């Protein structure tokens, strides 16, 4: 008998308990144990019915992801579920925690399902670029109808027990004493002469003749570029059109197609990478963390207010400071409005709005930061302004308080020098809108203490962010690569492409928008002002004024002024081509005596993407990012890199580094410029036939 699963007879019911911490994953030992214990229960004359449940904190919460990509080991999950479905005794699945993926598929092989109120069920395989492969796409539509099954399967989101009961996925919500309540439920079924209920014998009836067609239409925008959701629709359709066994075969075919696809490889990579980035190389997992009970925010503008909301959302009080009362009042009003809008959508109650607002203390006085544990500065991107802020924070904050900057480009080491405690200073680069975007680029200075790094990474997780630790350089990781792409995009237009053509190529790759639509959204004035500061300061590396800067100099800042690279209409944020912008581009080409040419989509793709890959390789060489997966996660959660392509460096590995290196060499020869000088790491890996993730 497997140690991972046990059998006991209790009060006339055979109880099968999975005990495979931490999440009772359905690995080979668990599958074998489930089969053995079922046989034991069926042979036990004292057992009138069977209950299957999980020990510890959850019902089986899915497959054992350590088995992914390895040869399958018997018994397979589908066979185990078949055995439960075909058992001679009535079987009840008793759910607490989460019954996800294979866990829910196992429960669907039982006759009845009960769950505690806090329990949840779901089929999240789509998030790994897969579909449920052990009968989930065939049993769920038979139980609750195709429409409901499609919603559960294509979203991959868990469904709480009360909602699952409403949908018909579970039969009863029981009290928290899981085992005794499940035994009582099973005994009552037996006493009432309840029938066996094999889902495979049920019929999946389409709610309408066009249910699948209509559902696919809805997915076109929501799941643009993804393969798995559309395969899920095909699999559920098979449940309606085919007999059960044939439907299972179709499910298996579609599952295999996805398992072998580059998309699923990419999505599985992202799944593991997101967990790996939390571990900072060189910082021991047992490093002590500081207690963060209150936070100060300098600046109540868009970023400051958004940052404050992250902490308030998890119950951490915030003191937020501005220079003038009207700016402070405006910032607080925007926070309140954001919460009220969330309440209007039903996501929180009006009581929650008041509770959250009560955690926000507005102030005009730095002295109100004297007791906070962490201060985050979110003021104008000027080193002089930062010097003043950090000098003051150093004076008023208590010893051991951590001082963080939200700078997106400035030197964190230099900022740390404005204090007498550089060990307590770190970058916490939030992405706009700060209360929505998942990425937090945490910038470690030369003197930042390990416990400060550990604390910042921990607090990132606490506030629902994906924290990635990076080193100090201009633009850190994300913006440093972005600036290279943007410069290429601008040059491509100068040479003859249109902004719309460049944007379409990047959009078609899977990004939510192209470089110029993104610039308009962020505001052309932001980058323009930074570049102007550098030009005025005589920075030898400053870019000369280009047509994009000329648009900004004309007051065309993008969406905020209804005109940038594109024009916009009131209430419609769709970018529309603008002849006025075209005139500025044309004038710039004449000024620079550029003879325009036809630029191919392939050249746009290669120049915009390969320049980022080359820069990413340099970032890895310099140790600014510790691993290729850190860069992947930054680009996915901070810049909308398509998840199904796995991030910049994973995508590069899929294209092939030999191919990319060859083109980078060619661009260096044709165009010149340091950005095209092949990175030594790219060259070495290309010559060795390796990828960034093979190291």
Rounded distance, CA 570 to CA 561, Å? Answer: 10
Torsion angle of C-alpha atoms 257, 260, 263, 266, degrees rounded to 10 = 150
Rounded distance, CA 359 to CA 342, Å? Answer: 17
Sheet of 466-470, strands arranged across? 360-363, 318-321, 295-298, 374-377, 402-405, 425-430, 439-444, 466-470
Please indicate whether residue 276 is annotated as part of the active site: no
Residue appearing with tokens 């911490």: 21
Rounded distance, CA 221 to CA 266, Å? Answer: 20
Rounded distance, CA 583 to CA 236, Å? Answer: 53
Cβ contact 142:204 at 8 Å: yes
Q: Considering the candidates 36, 67, 85, 125, report the single residue annotated as catalytic.
A: 125
Cβ contact 574:585 at 8 Å: no
Q: What is the DSSP letter of 318?
A: E
Rounded distance, CA 619 to CA 631, Å? Answer: 9
Q: Considering the candidates 85, 105, 179, 606, report the single residue annotated as catalytic.
A: 105
Q: What is the DSSP letter of 470?
A: E
Q: Which residues contact 625 (CB under 8 A, 6 or more apart)?
A: 468, 470, 471, 477, 616, 619, 631, 634
Cβ contact 317:357 at 8 Å: no
Please indicate whether residue 105 is annotated as part of the active site: yes
Helix or strand (DSSP H, E) at 254: helix 244-259
83 burial level (CB within 10 Å; 0-12, 13-18, 19+)? middle
Q: Which residues contact 280 (CB under 8 A, 6 or more apart)?
A: 453, 454, 457, 469, 626
Residue 625: alpha-carbon gap to chain centroid: 19
Q: How many degrees, rounded to 5, is the angle at CA 116 between CA 110 and CA 118?
A: 125
Rounded distance, CA 325 to CA 344, Å? Answer: 28
Q: Which residues are catalytic?
A: 105, 125
């Amino acid at each position: 008998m497997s140690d991972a699963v046990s059998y006991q007879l209790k009060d006339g019911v055979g109880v099968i308990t999975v005990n495979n911490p931490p999440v009772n994953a359905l690995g080979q030992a668990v599958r074998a144990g489930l089969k053995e214990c079922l046989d034991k229960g069926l042979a036990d004359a004292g057992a009138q019915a069977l209950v299957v449940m999980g020990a510890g904190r959850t019902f089986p919460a899915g497959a054992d992801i350590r088995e992914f990509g390895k040869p399958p080991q018997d018994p397979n999950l589908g066979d185990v579920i078949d055995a439960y479905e075909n058992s001679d005794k009535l079987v009840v699945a008793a759910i607490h925690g989460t019954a996800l993926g294979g866990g829910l598929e196992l429960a669907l092989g039982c006759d009845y399902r009960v769950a505690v109120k806090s329990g949840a069920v779901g089929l999240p395989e789509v998030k790994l670029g897969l579909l449920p492969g052990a009968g989930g796409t065939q049993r769920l539509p038979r139980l609750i109808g195709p429409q409901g099954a499609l919603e559960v399967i294509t979203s991959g989101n868990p469904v709480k027990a009360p909602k699952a009961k409403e949908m018909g996925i579970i039969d009863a919500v029981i009290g928290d004493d899981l085992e005794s309540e499940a035994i009582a439920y099973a005994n009552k079924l037996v006493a009432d002469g309840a029938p066996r209920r094999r889902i495979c014998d049920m019929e999946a009836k389409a709610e309408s003749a066009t249910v699948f067609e209509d559902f696919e239409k809805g997915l076109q925008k929501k799941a643009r570029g993804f393969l798995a959701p559309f395969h899920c629709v095909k699999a559920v359709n098979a449940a309606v059109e085919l007999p059960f066994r044939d439907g299972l075969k179709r499910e298996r075919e579609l599952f295999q197609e996805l398992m072998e696809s580059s998309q699923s490889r990419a999505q599985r990579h992202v799944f593991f990478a997101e967990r790996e980035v939390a571990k900072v190389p060189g910082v021991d997992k047992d490093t002590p963390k500081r207690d963060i009970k209150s936070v100060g925010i300098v600046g109540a503008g868009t970023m400051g207010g958004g940052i404050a909301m992250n902490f308030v959302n998890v119950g951490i009080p915030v003191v937020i400071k501005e220079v003038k009362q009207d700016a402070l009042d405006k910032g607080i009003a925007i926070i309140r409005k954001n919460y009220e809008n969330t309440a209007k959508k039903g996501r929180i109650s009006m009581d929650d709005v008041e509770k959250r607002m009560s955690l926000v203390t507005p102030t005009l006085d730095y002295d109100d930061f004297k007791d906070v544990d962490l201060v985050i500065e979110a003021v104008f991107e000027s080193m002089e302004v930062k010097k003043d802020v950090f000098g003051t924070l150093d004076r008023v904050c208590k010893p051991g308080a951590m001082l963080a900057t939200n700078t997106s480009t400035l030197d964190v080491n230099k900022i740390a020098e404005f204090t007498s405690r550089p060990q307590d200073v770190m970058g916490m680069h939030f992405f706009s809108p700060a209360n929505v975007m998942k990425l937090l680029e945490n910038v470690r200075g030369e003197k930042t203490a390990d416990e400060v790094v550990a604390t910042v990474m921990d607090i990132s997780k606490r506030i629902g962010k994906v924290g990635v630790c990076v080193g100090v350089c201009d633009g850190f990781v994300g913006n440093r690569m972005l600036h290279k792409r943007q410069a290429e995009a601008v040059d491509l237009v100068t040479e003859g492409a249109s902004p719309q053509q460049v944007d379409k190529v990047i959009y078609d790759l899977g990004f939510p928008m192209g470089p110029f639509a993104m610039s308009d959204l962020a505001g052309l004035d932001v980058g323009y002002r930074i570049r102007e500061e550098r030009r005025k300061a005589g920075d030898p590396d400053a870019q000369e004024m280009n047509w994009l800067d000329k648009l900004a100099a004309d007051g065309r800042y993008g969406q905020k002024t209804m005109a940038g690279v594109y024009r916009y209409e009131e209430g419609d944020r769709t970018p529309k081509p603008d002849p006025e912008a075209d005139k500025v581009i044309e004038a710039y080409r004449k000024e620079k005596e550029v003879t325009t040419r036809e630029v191919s989509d392939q050249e746009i793709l290669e120049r915009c993407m390969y320049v980022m890959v080359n820069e990413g390789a340099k970032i890895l060489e310099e140790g600014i990012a510790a691993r290729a997966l850190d860069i992947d996660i930054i680009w996915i959660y901070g810049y909308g890199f398509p998840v199904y392509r796995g991030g910049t460096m994973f995508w590069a590995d899929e294209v092939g580094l030999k191919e990319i290196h060859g083109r980078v060499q060619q661009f260096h020869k044709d165009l010149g410029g340091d950005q095209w000088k092949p990175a030594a790491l790219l060259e070495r890996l290309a010559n060795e036939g390796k990828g960034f993730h093979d190291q």
